[in-house]
């Protein structure tokens, strides 16, 4: 069976430990594919890098907020009322601008034949620390 590439939207989840400083650290990816009715999230909290931005960062609170976002994406009833929305509405709700410690970036688009693999690829590309040697 051949799959047709489908359009998707994605946003990064950014942690801003001190809103007044505006420094961010990517901590996750949200991906929505309307054609496949897919909404997925991948998160990764790098506590050491967050503490470099602000030693007083409440890592547990940030992890809780990110887990809640992932639960909303997964449709977990424990995440509350937003899970009753369809996947597109949940994506738009999650990516709406807000001034909190965890924020979504502007949305971006792409094409994929496998949304689940795509969200993993974006996590590795845009969130996880780079691997291998770096040239300076």
pLDDT tens figures, 66-110: 999 999 999 999 988 999 999 999 999 999 998 889 999 999 999
The answer to whether residue 40 sits within a structural domain is yes
Per-residue pLDDT reduced to its tens digit, 33-61: 999 999 999 999 999 999 999 999 999 99
Please check whether residue 43 is in contact with residue 62, taking contact to mean a CB–CB distance below 8 angstroms: no
Report the pLDDT value the prediction gives residue 111, as an integer from 0 to 100.
97
The answer to whether residue 109 sits within a structural domain is yes
Report the pLDDT value the prediction gives residue 130, as an integer from 0 to 100.
84
The answer to whether residue 96 sits within a structural domain is yes
**End-to-end C-alpha distance for the chain, whole angstroms:** 46
* Domain encompassing residue 91: 6-126
The answer to whether residue 134 sits within a structural domain is no
Total domain count for the chain? 1
The answer to whether residue 133 sits within a structural domain is no
Report the pLDDT value the prediction gives residue 133, as an integer from 0 to 100.
52
The answer to whether residue 132 sits within a structural domain is no
The answer to whether residue 1 sits within a structural domain is no
Torsions phi, psi of 32, nearest 5? Answer: -125, 125
Report the pLDDT value the prediction gives residue 73, as an integer from 0 to 100.
94
Report the pLDDT value the prediction gives residue 54, as an integer from 0 to 100.
95
The answer to whether residue 122 sits within a structural domain is yes
CA-based torsion, 68, 30, 24, 123: positive or negative: positive
């Amino acid at each position: 069976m051949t799959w047709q590439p489908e359009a998707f939207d994605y946003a990064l989840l950014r942690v801003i430990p001190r809103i007044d400083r505006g420094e961010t650290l990517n901590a996750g990816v949200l991906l929505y594919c309307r054609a496949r009715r897919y909404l997925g999230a991948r998160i990764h909290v790098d506590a050491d890098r967050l503490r470099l931005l602000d030693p007083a960062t409440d890592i547990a609170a940030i992890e809780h907020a990110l887990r809640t976002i992932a639960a909303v994406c997964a449709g977990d009833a424990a995440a509350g009322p937003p899970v009753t929305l369809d996947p597109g509405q949940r994506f738009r709700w999650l990516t709406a601008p807000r001034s909190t410690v965890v924020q979504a970036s502007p949305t971006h688009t792409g094409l994929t034949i496998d949304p689940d693999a795509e969200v993993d690829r974006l996590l590795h590309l845009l969130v996880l620390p780079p691997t291998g040697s770096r040239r300076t």
